Amino acid sequence: MSDTAKPEFKSYEEFWDFYVSQHANKTNRRLHFVGTSLAMACVAGGALLRRPSLFLLAPVVGYGFAWVGHFVFEKNKPASFDHPVWSFKSDFVMWSKIANGTMDAEVERVMSGKPAEAGDAHEGANGTRVEASVN
């Protein structure tokens, strides 16, 4: 496990590339997808069935799967330890990209060091679509 200094980011877009780099292992990403899916099911079930215990179970299930992915497969510290808000948001962006089949290409882009190209987009910090610009 790497014990590097806490990186600082000026924008969510900078954080996103770091987040992706911390999820290079496909098994880790799959565990995140399962954990996030089960956590969302717990929240939905808690609301629909009016069972507060399911709300309490959601973060345990979600983070449980994710942390196994980080500690066992990726062998790094979860980004949520140092950047909980952006990491939580990124979990859902990654979930969406896995669901629509674009996450593997995003990992390849980040790991190759290529900047996002014009037309590449993901959600910005306020939930709006952010297009990357090339200067």
Question: In one letter, which amino acid is 75?
Answer: K
String of DSSP letters for 68-119: HIIIIII-S--GGGT-HHHHHHHHHHHHHHHHTT-HHHHHHHHHTTPPPPTT
Residue 4 domain-assigned (yes or no): no
> Does the structure show a pLDDT above 80 at 31?
yes
Residue 3 domain-assigned (yes or no): no
Residue 102 domain-assigned (yes or no): yes
Residue 7 domain-assigned (yes or no): no
> Does the structure show a pLDDT above 70 at 2?
no
Residue 2 domain-assigned (yes or no): no
3-state secondary structure of 123: strand
Tokens linked to 35: 């954990």
> Does the structure show a pLDDT above 50 at 128?
no
pLDDT band of 126, cuts 50, 70, 90: very low
Question: Are the C-beta atoms of residues 121 and 129 closer than 8 Å to each other?
Answer: yes
Query: For the chain, what is the domain count?
Result: 1
Neighbours of 47 (CB within 10 A): 12
pLDDT of 6:
75
Residue 84 domain-assigned (yes or no): yes
pLDDT of 115:
86
Residue 47 domain-assigned (yes or no): yes
Q: How many Å separate Cα 70 from the centre of its chain?
A: 12
Q: What is the pLDDT of residues 64-115, one digit of tens each?
A: 999 999 999 999 999 999 999 999 999 999 999 999 999 999 999 999 998 8
Which domain covers residue 16, as residue numbers? 12-131
Residue 1 domain-assigned (yes or no): no
